[in-house]
A and B are shown apart, each in its own frame.
Chain A
Amino acid sequence: MSDTILEARNLTKSFGGFVAVNGVDLSIARGAIHAIIGPNGAGKTTMFNLLTKFITPTSGEILFNGNDITRRKPAEIANMGIVRSFQISAVFPHLTALENVRLSLQKSLGVSYQFWRSTKVLHDLDAQAIARLDQVGLADYAHLKAVELPYGRKRALEIATTLGLEPELMLLDEPTQGMGTEDVGAVTELIGRVREGRTIVMVEHNLGVVAELADTITVLARGEVLAEGTYDQVSKNPAVMEAYMGVSAEEQEAGA
């Protein structure tokens, strides 16, 4: 298998006259954590939704393991091994933590359309689900409804659910958004722990998290790639500084 797991070629999305993503080329290395950052309105969310197939590009193509997935549906790519998370924590609030995780395991039984069978058949998955919960430190909360969990724990539950699908590629939409510092630390640590054997693409605002986790960073601005490289490389890039601070590097030096 090639070293590139996901590739976007000349990806463009326009909404009416507004071009949100403009001719972006992106190549995600297998096994890496790849962060997409950029100032507000840079097209990060659109880019993310394009990669997860929640929206269809105006032009360009997306390849997963060399296969064209540009026209595939979200449920299809999920079954191929690309699973996304959401900006607002995406759990099933009135189901228990156990049921949440079990929903990601259920497909392996092939009983999801069997409306005449009792949920008892799903109990075979309970041990596996508890193990998943344990992995993110939630085993003690298995029988609580997701809505009753505090925010940071919901995020952990969401990651446990996503991992249940054993995704080859995980796409995380601002995993630490809206969290207190302590929760940010816990989730960062969790992502670092579950990266083993998979590739992670994340859109993230918190540069501390990006610095700690990401191997490669792509900086978007105005729908185009502004810079790409390691944290050290992009953080010293004058164009990036200008985009983030609104001032050029010289001006900044002059000011300092």
Chain B
Amino acid sequence: MTDIAEFEAETAPETVKRGRVVQGLAWAVLLAAVLIAPAFLYPVFAMQLLCFALFAAAFNLLIGFTGLLSFGHAAFFGGAAYIAGHVIKVWGFPPILGILAGTVFAAALGWLVGMLAIRRQGIYFAMITLALAQIVYFFALQMPFTGGEDGLQGIPRGHLLGVIDLSQPLNMYYFVAAVFLIGFAVIYRVVHSPFGQVLQAIRENEPRALSLGYNVDRFKLLAFVLSAGLAGLAGSTKALVFQFASLTDAHWQMSGEVILMTLLGGMGTIFGPVVGAVIVVALQHMLSGIGSWVQVVIGGTFIACVLLFRRGIVGEIARMLKVGGWL
């Protein structure tokens, strides 16, 4: 094989070493940022960032690591918010159980949607998820317990384990930070598990994964359920933060926003969705004065991102540092 002579093999151990160091640094920055954020940011805003960062990271599990574009993730995020809110407010469940109920609901819904959607591929898959999410939106609008246009308001934050008062902003913040970190760690583990290896194989070359004897549909379905459940974890937590669940959370625009966050930060990267979510939410926040023009700015940012750095912010950084796959 002639081309071997001029072919220079990069010594792998060096790449691995550099990758480990850079990833360690990224974890340190993330942890530090999460811990000290309330010192610089308004707690509710900081919590909003964390919820969306988790949502985007959950979404990335599908698009980035399995290669499935769901256009209906708002259904899991918003649906879980309603369930958590209802369980806490009406049934009087403690906050943790409420969040758990929302998460389980989203995972179950993910199983249902996944079962139907993974029979098709590409754009058809995306369209089925969108259509099913619209049905969920319709339920959110029409069912008596959701409060229709008004949303589900006045969800009490309650006490964590009966002791810690979550109506105190800092208590609540560190609770949300813990939820985020646990959720994020779960995603990291799923990606770096034997299961995650197969998911990446499916993303890379589905027919080949099939020919190696992997039941591709079952792997996709489990990935979908995990992603939906984690999106639900983010949605339930957000409902507790803002103390209400609204139609916005389940609207298709929310499904679009999470795609935007993930692409902007870098799909298929570990930390990209977090960066993307922070940028999008911060832009919405800072530019709220200009009304609907904020959409134009975000749209422009998105176009610039796709044209100039297609790998997303973190993806481009990883490429520059030659640590692809580690960030």
A118 touches B200 (CB 8 A): no
A112 touches B207 (CB 8 A): no
A142 to chain B, nearest CB (A): 7
B208 touches A109 (CB 8 A): no
B216 touches A75 (CB 8 A): yes
Residues of A within 8 A of B10 (CB): 144, 148
Chain A interface category by residue count:
35 or more
Q: Interface size on B (CB < 8 Å)?
A: 40
A182 touches B16 (CB 8 A): no
Residues of B within 8 A of A140 (CB): 9
Which residues, 178 to 194 on B, are CB-close (under 8 Å) to A?
189-190, 192-194
Query: Looking at B10, B212, B218, which has the most chain A CB atoms within 10 Å of its CB?
Result: B212
Q: Considering the chains assembled together, what is the distance between the CA atoms of A86 and B210 in angstroms?
A: 12
Map CB proximity to A onto B196-240 as digits: 1 under 8 Å, 0 otherwise.
Answer: 111011001101111111111011001000100000000000000
- One of A97-105, A207-215, A218-226 at the interface: A97-105
User: Contacts A95-B200, A150-B4; is A119 near B213 (CB within 8 Å)?
Assistant: no
A164 to chain B, nearest CB (A): 8
Which residues, 70 to 116 on A, are CB-close (under 8 Å) to B?
74-76, 78-79, 83-86, 90-96, 99, 102-104, 106-107, 109, 111-116
Q: Which of A99, A112, A122, A180 contacts B2 (CB 8 A)?
A: A180
Q: Considering the chains assembled together, what is the distance between the CA atoms of A119 and B191 in angstroms?
A: 9
Residues of A within 8 A of B193 (CB): 114-119
B190 touches A115 (CB 8 A): yes
Which residues, 1 to 55 on B, are CB-close (under 8 Å) to A?
1-4, 7, 9-10, 12-13, 15-16
User: B325 at interface (Cβ–Cβ under 8 A)?
Assistant: yes
Residues of B within 8 A of A94 (CB): 200, 204, 324-325
Map CB proximity to A onto B148-166 as digits: 1 under 8 Å, 0 otherwise.
Answer: 0000000000000000000
Residues of A within 8 A of B7 (CB): 150
Q: Which of A86, A115, A144 contacts B222 (CB 8 A)?
A: A115
A122 touches B4 (CB 8 A): no
Of all chain B residues, the one with the shortest Cβ separation from A117 is B193
User: B293 at interface (Cβ–Cβ under 8 A)?
Assistant: no
Q: Which of B9, B205, B211 contacts A78 (CB 8 A)?
A: B211
Which residues, 133 to 148 on A, are CB-close (under 8 Å) to B?
140-144, 148
B293 to chain A, nearest CB (A): 39
User: B195 at interface (Cβ–Cβ under 8 A)?
Assistant: yes
Q: Which of A79, A91, A112 contacts B198 (CB 8 A)?
A: A112
A111 touches B194 (CB 8 A): yes
Q: Which of B194, B213, B219 contacts A79 (CB 8 A)?
A: B213
Residues of A within 8 A of B201 (CB): 92, 95, 103
Q: Which of B15, B195, B204, B207 contacts A113 (CB 8 A)?
A: B195
User: A36 at interface (Cβ–Cβ under 8 A)?
Assistant: no
User: Contacts A111-B194, A165-B213; is A86 near B207 (CB within 8 Å)?
Assistant: yes
B207 touches A54 (CB 8 A): yes
B197 touches A106 (CB 8 A): yes
User: Contacts A54-B207, A92-B204, A116-B193; is A104 near B226 (CB within 8 Å)?
Assistant: no
Q: Which of A86, A112, A143, A183 contacts B15 (CB 8 A)?
A: A143
A90 touches B205 (CB 8 A): yes
Map CB proximity to B onto A39-70 as digits: 1 under 8 Å, 0 otherwise.
Answer: 00000000000001010000000000000000
User: A161 at interface (Cβ–Cβ under 8 A)?
Assistant: yes
A74 touches B1 (CB 8 A): no
Q: Considering the chains assembled together, what is the distance between the CA atoms of A183 and B3 in angstroms?
A: 9
Q: Considering the chains assembled together, what is the distance between the CA atoms of A191 and B189 in angstroms?
A: 38
Residues of A within 8 A of B324 (CB): 94
User: Contacts A112-B195, A115-B189; is A165 near B200 (CB within 8 Å)?
Assistant: no
Q: Considering the chains assembled together, what is the distance between the CA atoms of A220 and B226 in angstroms?
A: 48
B212 touches A143 (CB 8 A): no
Q: Considering the chains assembled together, what is the distance between the CA atoms of A121 and B196 in angstroms?
A: 13
User: A26 at interface (Cβ–Cβ under 8 A)?
Assistant: no
User: A186 at interface (Cβ–Cβ under 8 A)?
Assistant: yes
B161 to chain A, nearest CB (A): 24
Q: Considering the chains assembled together, what is the distance between the CA atoms of A115 and B188 in angstroms?
A: 10
B211 touches A90 (CB 8 A): yes
User: A152 at interface (Cβ–Cβ under 8 A)?
Assistant: yes
User: A30 at interface (Cβ–Cβ under 8 A)?
Assistant: no
B192 touches A118 (CB 8 A): yes
A165 touches B212 (CB 8 A): yes
Q: Considering the chains assembled together, what is the distance between the CA atoms of A91 and B211 in angstroms?
A: 11
Query: Looking at B3, B189, B195, B208, which has the most chain A CB atoms within 10 Å of its CB?
Result: B208
Q: Considering the chains assembled together, what is the distance between the CA atoms of A93 and B218 in angstroms?
A: 22
Of all chain B residues, the one with the shortest Cβ separation from A107 is B213
Please give the residue numbers on chain B whose beta carbons come within 8 Å of chain A beta carbons, in ascending order: 1-4, 7, 9-10, 12-13, 15-16, 189-190, 192-198, 200-201, 204-205, 207-216, 218-219, 222, 226, 324-325
Beyond the given A94-B200, A143-B15, please list 12 additional residue pairs across the A-B interface where CB-CB is below 8 A: A75-B214, A75-B216, A83-B211, A91-B205, A94-B325, A96-B12, A112-B219, A115-B193, A116-B190, A117-B193, A144-B12, A152-B3
**10 chain-A/chain-B pairs, Cβ below 8 angstroms:** A52-B211, A78-B211, A78-B213, A91-B208, A94-B200, A99-B197, A103-B209, A115-B190, A180-B2, A183-B2
The 10 closest A-B pairs by CB, nearest first: A143-B12, A78-B213, A115-B195, A92-B204, A150-B3, A90-B208, A111-B194, A152-B1, A79-B213, A115-B190
